[in-house]
Amino acid sequence: MGDRGNLYITNRDSTGKLESWIDLYWHWHGSKVRDYAAYALEVCRGRWDDESYMVALFLGHLYGFHVPPSGIVINGFDDNEHDVVEMCMTDNRVRIWNGYDHGDLNTLADVSKAKESLPFHEFCRKYEPPKEE
């Protein structure tokens, strides 16, 4: 039951291994996480080069949105039903991961296995902001 989805905000080392991450979890509307991420990321465009401030703005916009995340997990993973969105602060890319790989650190360490990998600006251009519920 539900429509669970996840967005990871990550940092990676020079080999691509995850160093730290926050898993934002939606119990409802998880199928729209990609659109929510594009909206909040676009709003923060002027701060993409200032990681700590940008993440604070990003979270503020998500929580001020009409369908905020249901929970946050630090360096762990919550339930999932859809492809996972990763917003990597190390290389300013958004990766889309197969939902079945959710929580598999071995797969997530190999960025070439992502279904999609886009620089922030291309991700924002590709996905539309969500419509009001």
Residue 132 has pLDDT above 60, yes or no: no
**Are 61 and 35 contacting, i.e. CB atoms less than 8 angstroms apart?**
no
Mean pLDDT of the chain: 86
Please check whether residue 82 lies inside any domain of the structure.
yes
Regarding pTM above 0.85, the answer is yes
Please check whether residue 133 lies inside any domain of the structure.
no
What's the domain count of the chain? 1
Please check whether residue 131 lies inside any domain of the structure.
no
- Sheet containing strand 71-74, strands side by side: 71-74, 18-26, 5-12, 84-88, 93-97, 116-119
Residue 45 has pLDDT above 90, yes or no: yes
The tens digit of pLDDT for each residue in 80-112 reads 889 999 999 999 999 999 886 666 777 777 888
What range does the domain containing 121 cover?
5-126
Please check whether residue 40 lies inside any domain of the structure.
yes
pLDDT (0 to 100) of residue 130: 58
Higher pLDDT, 9 or 74: 9
7 forms beta bridges with 24, 85
Residue 122 has pLDDT above 70, yes or no: yes
pLDDT (0 to 100) of residue 42: 92
